[in-house]
Structure 1
Amino acid sequence: MKKTFTTIAFLLMMLPVLLYAQTIPKTMNIYEKNGTLTKIPLDRIEKITFDGPQIGYNDNVVRDGDGNIYQVVKIGHQVWLASNLRTTKYNDGTPIPNITVGAEWNKARTGAYSWYMNNADNKEVYGALYNWYAVAEDKICPKGYHVPRKEELKALVETVGYAQPGAKLKVAGTQYWKNNKPETDNSSGFSALPGGGRQLNAAFQGEGATGRWWAIDAGSADYADFLIMYDNSNAANFMAANKWLGASVRCVRD
Structure 2
Amino acid sequence: MKNIFFKQFRFNRIVGNLFIFVLILQSCQPEENFPTPKSATIITEAVTAITGTSATSGGQISSDGGFKISTQGVCWDTIQNPTIGKSFSIDTSGKSEFTSELSGLSGGTTYYVRAYSTNVGGITYGNEEVFTTNVVPLMTTTEVTQITGNSAKSGGFITETFGAQITDRGICWSIKINPSVSDQKVSLGAGENSFEATMTNLKSGTPYHVRSYAITSEGDVSYGKDILFETQLVDFDGNVYTTVEIGEQVWMVQNFICTTYNDGTPIDSNDYTWNTADINQEYGLNYRWTATDNPNFAPEGWHVPTSDEWLTLFDIVDGEVNKLKESGTDHWNSDNGTNETGFTALGSGHIYGQPLKTETTWWSSTIDSGSGNPYRWAMNDNGEFYGGPWNGTGFIFSVRLIKD
Structure 1 residue 222, shift from structure 2 partner: 5.3
**Residues 35-46 of structure 1 aligned to structure 2 (within 5 Å):** none
Q: Which residue of 2 aligns with 1:51?
A: none
Residue 138 of structure 1 pairs with residue 298 of structure 2: no
Aligned to 1:116: 275
Residues 92-103 of structure 1 mapped to structure 2, 5 A cutoff = 92-99=263-270
Q: Indicate conservation of the 8 Å contact 1:228/1:239, yes or no.
A: no
Cα distance 1:113–1:154, how it changes in 2: closer, same or farther (>3 A)? same
Higher relative contact order, chain-length normalized (CA < 8 Å, sep 6+): 1
213-222 vs 240-249, greater mean Cα deviation: 213-222
The aligned residue for residue 61 of structure 2 is: none
Partner of residue 249 from structure 2, selected from 73, 78, 86: 78
Instruction: From the superposition, tell whether residues 169 and 114 of structure 1 become closer, same or farther in structure 2 (CA, over 3 Å).
Output: same
Matches of 1:155 and 1:84, distance apart in 2: 19
> Residue 91 of structure 1 contacts residue 140 of structure 1 at CA under 8 Å; is this kept in 2?
yes
Equivalent AA in structure 2 for residue 212 of structure 1: T
> Are residue 189 (structure 1) and residue 338 (structure 2) matched?
no
Alpha-carbon separation, structure 2, partners of 1:218 and 1:226 = 10
- Does residue 152 of the first structure (1) align with residue 309 of the second (2)? yes
What's the counterpart of residue 323 of structure 2?
168
Structure 1 or 2: larger strand share?
2
Q: Which structure 2 residue ranges, 5 or more long, are not aligned?
A: 1-204, 208-229
Structure whose alpha-carbon radius of gyration is higher? 2
CA RMSD of aligned residues (A): 1.9
Decide which of 45, 49, 62 is 2:233's aligned counterpart.
62
CA distance in 2, matches of 1:97, 1:71: 26
CA contact (8 A) 2:277 2:356 kept: no
Please report how far the alpha carbon of residue 237 of structure 1 lies from its aligned counterpart in structure 2 after TM superposition: 1.4
User: Equivalent of 1:209, from 358, 362, 378?
Assistant: 358
Greater fraction helix? 1
Between the aligned partners of 2:384 and 2:398, the Cα distance in structure 1 is 18
Where does residue 177 of structure 1 map in the other structure?
332
**Hey, what does 2:401 align to over in structure 1?**
251
**Alignment-mate amino acid for residue 195 of structure 1:** S
Question: For the residues of structure 1 that align with 2:354 and 2:372, how far apart are their CA atoms?
Answer: 21
* 2:373 corresponding residue in structure 1: 223
| Percent of residue pairs bearing the same amino acid type | 34
Give the Cα–Cα distance (whole angstroms) in 2 for the partners of residues 131 and 180 of structure 1: 30
Residue 196 of structure 1 and its aligned partner are, at CA, apart by: 1.3
- Runs of 4+ residues deviating >6 angstroms: none
How far does the alpha carbon of each residue in 1:16-41 deviate from its partner, in whole angstroms, 9 at most, with x for none? xxxxxxxxxxxxxxxxxxxxxxxxxx
The answer (yes or no) to whether the contact 2:307–2:364 under 8 Å persists in 1 is yes
Q: Which amino acid aligns with 1:115?
A: W
Q: Distance in 2 between matches of 1:223 and 1:198?
A: 19
List runs of 5+ in structure 1 lacking aligned partners. 1-55, 100-111
Query: How many Å separate the matches in 2 of 1:117 and 1:246?
Result: 13
Q: What amino acid does structure 2 have at the position aligned with 1:76?
A: G
After superposition, give the CA deviation of every residue in 1:181-236 in whole Å (9 maximum; x if it has no partner). 2xx2101000000111133xxxx6331111011100112565211110101x2122
SS at match of 1:87: coil
**Contact 1:57-1:72 at 8 Å conserved across structures:** no
